[in-house]
Amino acid sequence: MTRNSYYITTPIYYPSDNLHIGHAYCTTVADSLARFHRTKGEDVFFLTGSDEHGLKIQRKAKEKGVTPIEYVDKIIANFKFLWKQLNISNNDFIRTSEERHHKVVQDTLQKIYDKGDIYKKNYEGLYCVPCESYWLERQLDENGCCPDCHRPVEKMQEESYFFKMSKYEEWWMSFIEENPDFIQPASRRNEMINFVKQGLEDLCITRTTFDWGVPVPFDSKHVVYVWFDALLNYLTGIKYGSDDAMFNKFWPASLHLVGKEIVRFHTIIWPIMLHAMGVEMPEKVYGHGWLVVDGDKMSKSKGNVIDPLALIDEFGADAIRYFLLREINLGSDGNFSRDALITRTNADLANDLGNLLHRTVSMIEKYHKGVVNDAGVSEAVDDELKTLAAATVENFIKDMDGMEINTAIKGVWAFISRANKYIDETAPWVLAKNPEKAARLETVMYNLAESLRIIAILVSPFIPSASPKIYTQLGLAVPEQFLLAEAKWGGLANGTKVAKGDPLYPRIEIAEDGSTIIGGKKYEPKVSAPAPAQEEPKFAMEPIKEEITFDVFEKMDLRVGKVIAAEKVKKSKKLLKLQVEIGPEVRTIVSGISQYYEPEAMIGKNVIVVANLAPAKLMGIESFGMLLAASDGQGNLVLADAPNMPSGARVK
């Protein structure tokens, strides 16, 4: 029996200060698959989230003088904001720091411990902090560094609990043999088999060297190893142990989509954990390739980290999504280039799709006062269009089911091109001049509008904001869910009245200095600068101002505000324009902090606002309030903040 539910997950992301386009890639792919399964009428649960524990986070928080949860809260707010901007339709966002997850981890550990699959021993090993992994001497790379990330390892000694992975080696081999589709693509399956053939070691699953993690229920000195903790998010997200109806509906997971470097954790450790727990296996783990920038791996020091928020601001979420999905072959590494993004957007979105809609709707308005009416005067070329429409839908389903996303997109665009060609072949402007061809013209217009209706459904997993716009211009009510069942020829009713709107995608023009002009707005290319060298600040204190009375001070109304949007003020080096939520209201505040804070880093940040300051105009923008910040007069500035306080709270 085929199931009508679909459960898809992305990896849960490490809270990183630098959100980059690579982060957006995996989530965009998962989103397109989730949306596709919804168009099939399936009940979809799409989970993403954050992997927040571990020594690395604990150290970073300490460096910044905040608690680990304060440190991660801000970053997670940025992640959530990015997913919203990118139109990601996740059903839940799981954070491993949440109570609901701690419970699942602790219950699981206890269960496996009670079964006798966990034991304690003294352990000395070489530990890679960024990867949170122990390595044996023989596993290190040629420089004696971590074989995964090639950074130095540290010698660590601790008493640890171990999970008896080795006990399940034979079970794993037979499971993989019996389920050839479990690991995909096939090349990654072979890699994993070769890895396990070298012998499975028991896995060290607890740590005592830090405490930012889930406490081990049977030994409170220990916290759970991050991977053991993190993988269980896939069960927590669908209420394992707390809501059987929900869990049984969505488990086993239909697909864990992960990057190629973490296939090993998902296809060896994870199935063995589940098997030890007596939980059914997920259906599939797919290891996608990596995104590189202009042929080079992204890194902060190279300054080639592409910020997805800036990119969305400039080109829109659809263009980014479309580029990632169309340009990259899911199983292989793919290249991101700004030039290629611009070329793709102009060619496929602005020209092919945008023009088809624009031409069609304009002609229906011009020739038929906007009303669609199939007069039934068909010619051979119509049959060709209709046959291709049906074949496109069929191939689309086959390709998407097979996770051939870019092939599916190519198929849809071949149909879009065919429809554009149909306009040239039928030459409606010639038909319009001949009264005897009036009925034929009506049929031609119907066929074009009907093609666009089907196209709107097919593109909805990839460029979700386009489909409602196409429907609206076609005069159709936007459904809550676009359904493939409705992508059958003839669904458009006669009498439908189209309504021309703005172009779907404005053309991107490129100025001589390399900046872009989109819809009349100019954008400088935004790539993050290489990490600057740190300099010792020299501080000279300013004299304290003359005394004021408490009454005077009390007139100042200071409030906690939460930044919900931020952008650089055009032509200003210093100013950021912020939207700040203060209790129920949202205000525009212009602040001279642009040299110190990137707009993206401001999102979700709590700030202190002088809330009753008279409005002032800065670079033509009215600013309603001011942010408090500490400055040493030597080029350093830090905003005052109030983490974990509700916006609107009074500061005294």
Residues binding ligand MSP (CB under 6 A): 11-14, 22-23, 25-26, 51, 230-231, 233, 258-259, 261-262, 290-291, 298
Q: Whole-number minimum distance, CB 308 to ligand MSP, in Å?
A: 11
Query: For residue 419, what are the CA distances in angstroms to 360, 433, 448, 592, 604?
Result: 10, 22, 7, 51, 45
Task: Please state the length of the chain.
Answer: 652
Cβ-closest position to ligand MSP: 259
Q: Whole-number minimum distance, CB 307 to ligand MSP, in Å?
A: 13
Residue closer to ligand MSP by CB (options 11, 461) is 11
Residue closer to ligand MSP by CB (options 235, 466) is 235
Residue closer to ligand MSP by CB (options 332, 595) is 332
Query: For residue 110, what are the CA distances in angstroms to 104, 115, 165, 217?
Result: 10, 8, 16, 7
Contact assessment for residue 314 and residue 270, using Cβ atoms and an 8 Å cutoff = no
Residue closer to ligand MSP by CB (options 604, 625) is 604
Q: Give the Cα separation of 164 and 185 in Å (integer).
A: 28
DSSP 8-state assignment for residue 608: E
Fill in the amino acid letter for 403: M
Q: Whole-number minimum distance, CB 234 to ligand MSP, in Å?
A: 7
HEC assignment per residue over 412-430: HHHHHHHHHHHHHHHCHHH
Residue closer to ligand MSP by CB (options 304, 443) is 304
Residue closer to ligand MSP by CB (options 51, 600) is 51
Q: Whole-number minimum distance, CB 334 to ligand MSP, in Å?
A: 8
Q: Whole-number minimum distance, CB 17 to ligand MSP, in Å?
A: 12
Residue closer to ligand MSP by CB (options 257, 593) is 257
**What Rg do the C-alpha atoms of the chain give, in angstroms?**
28
Cα distance between the two ends of the chain: 64
CA 118 to chain CA centroid, nearest Å: 36
DSSP 8-state assignment for residue 542: P
Q: Whole-number minimum distance, CB 229 to ligand MSP, in Å?
A: 9
Query: For residue 363, what are the CA distances in angstroms to 348, 366, 367, 428?
Result: 21, 5, 6, 8
Q: Give the Cα separation of 46 and 234 in Å (integer).
A: 10
Q: Give the Cα separation of 595 and 578 in Å (integer).
A: 14
**Closest C-alpha among 233, 209, 1 to residue 105:** 233
Residue closer to ligand MSP by CB (options 264, 577) is 264
Q: Whole-number minimum distance, CB 313 to ligand MSP, in Å?
A: 20
Interacting residues of 439 by C-beta distance below 8 A, sequence separation 6+: 375, 376, 377
Q: Whole-number minimum distance, CB 75 to ligand MSP, in Å?
A: 11
Residue closer to ligand MSP by CB (options 324, 601) is 324
> Cα angle at 311 between 309 and 317, to 5 degrees?
80
